[in-house]
Amino acid sequence: MTVQKRYSDLGGDAGSNIVGQVMEQRDRVRSRMAHVARTVAVMSGKGGVGKSVITANLAAALAARGHAVGALDADLSGPCLARMLGAGEQSLRIGERGVVPAGGVGGVRVMSMDLLLAGDETPLVWDDLDGAARAGDVWRGAMELSALREFLADTDWGELDFLFIDLPPGTQPLAALTALLPELDGVIVVSIPSDVARLVVGKSVTAARERRTPILGLVENMAGYHCQRCGEVGELFPAPAGQAPAAEALGVPSLGQVPFDPGLARSADGGRPFILDAGDSPAARALTEIVDRIEQLPG
């Protein structure tokens, strides 16, 4: 009969010095973050709400205003931020002080898992320990946390005014991030005006409050539709009569409402954020107002 040993059965750490390695990485994270004035996570409990599009536009707009900006795509399985910021075709290189981030539009410094994968359709696969699904889930979570720690510790971000961290959907990624960055300056919550999204996003707001992470506010994406022919903004998601606005219902500040504009999708695919060329469109005005509010964060 095969007897399986657990990690806790081993004497000490079996010579791997895991604790020492983790502590060394934590020290490197603190050292890197000491040169970042404001670190902001962008989160949503639900996928498909345009969180990465919002992140890319905020980062590019602030860089266009002369700020030093970094953008970290923490979604390891579905990364897309590098492509949205025009850095998707670049290769990473090692410099004297660590991994040099890719150069995105306007000089945004980008780190993303898709810069490490072999091709656009290459998935990230975690080994599951000989098919032991349950153990695989545990190890996958540990490896994802380790990868995020390495992105923060080993990337030569340099001096930054803003570092945006685009979190994957769910509440657990914020818990992992705050374990690494307990002094996170705050989170931006992204939602869309639907009851289902509001329900799921509410869980993210609760998670942030439980971890005492400052909530900078809610961005309501796809809040109406900008007609390309008449220029008017019409209703996209009908709101039930008498329903309070999302930010008010969740008890968080409202950063703004961004109407859907087909140009947002085209610009994301083209690698040049919408806000840079959209002129005075309703979506551009809404994004600009959000950027104005984020720019006022104390550094």
Q: Residue 257 pLDDT more than 80?
A: yes
Residue 285 predicted with pLDDT over 50: yes
User: Does the residue 28 lie in any domain?
Assistant: no
Q: Is 184 buried (19+), middle (13-18) or exposed (0-12) by CB count in 10 A?
A: buried
| Mean model confidence pLDDT for the chain | 83
Burial 77-96 (b: 16+ CB within 10 A, else e): eebbbbbbbbbbeeebeeee
Domain count, the chain: 1
Could you tell me the pTM of the whole model? 0.85
What was the pLDDT predicted at 19? 53
pLDDT for position 5: 45
pLDDT at 7: 43
Of 25-34, 95-104, 139-148, 210-219, the range with the lowest mean pLDDT is: 139-148
What are the tens digits of pLDDT across the range 167-189? 998 888 898 899 889 889 999 99
CATH assignment of the domain containing 102: 3.40.50.300
What's the pLDDT score for residue 136?
47
What is the mean pLDDT of the segment spanning 145-159?
89
Q: Is residue 207 part of a domain?
A: yes
Question: How do residues 231-250 score in pLDDT, each as one tens digit?
Answer: 667 677 766 555 677 888 88
Q: Averaged over 277-288, what is the pLDDT? A: 90
DSSP labels for 258-297? EEE-HHHHHHHHHTS-GGGT-TT-HHHHHHHHHHHHHHTS
Q: Is residue 168 part of a domain?
A: yes
- Would you state the pLDDT for residue 12? 53
Please report the pLDDT score of residue 139 as a whole number.
Answer: 45
Q: Pick 24 or 139 by higher pLDDT.
A: 24
More confident residue, 143 or 145: 145
Q: What percent of the chain has pLDDT over 90?
A: 47
pLDDT, one tens digit per residue, over 88-108 is: 888 888 999 999 999 999 999
The pair of structure tokens assigned to 41 is 């996570």
Helices 172-180 and 195-210: crossing angle in degrees, nearest 10, is 30
Of the ranges 22-31, 185-194, 215-224, 256-265, which one carries the lowest mean pLDDT score? Answer: 22-31
Residue 181 lies in a domain: yes
Higher-confidence residue: 87 or 129? 87
pLDDT for 118 equals: 53
Structural domain boundaries enclosing 205? 33-295
Q: Which of 191, 175, 173 is nearest to 239 (CA)?
A: 191
Residue 22 lies in a domain: no
Answer whether residue 273 is part of any domain. yes
Q: Is residue 27 in a domain?
A: no
Q: Is residue 159 part of a domain?
A: yes
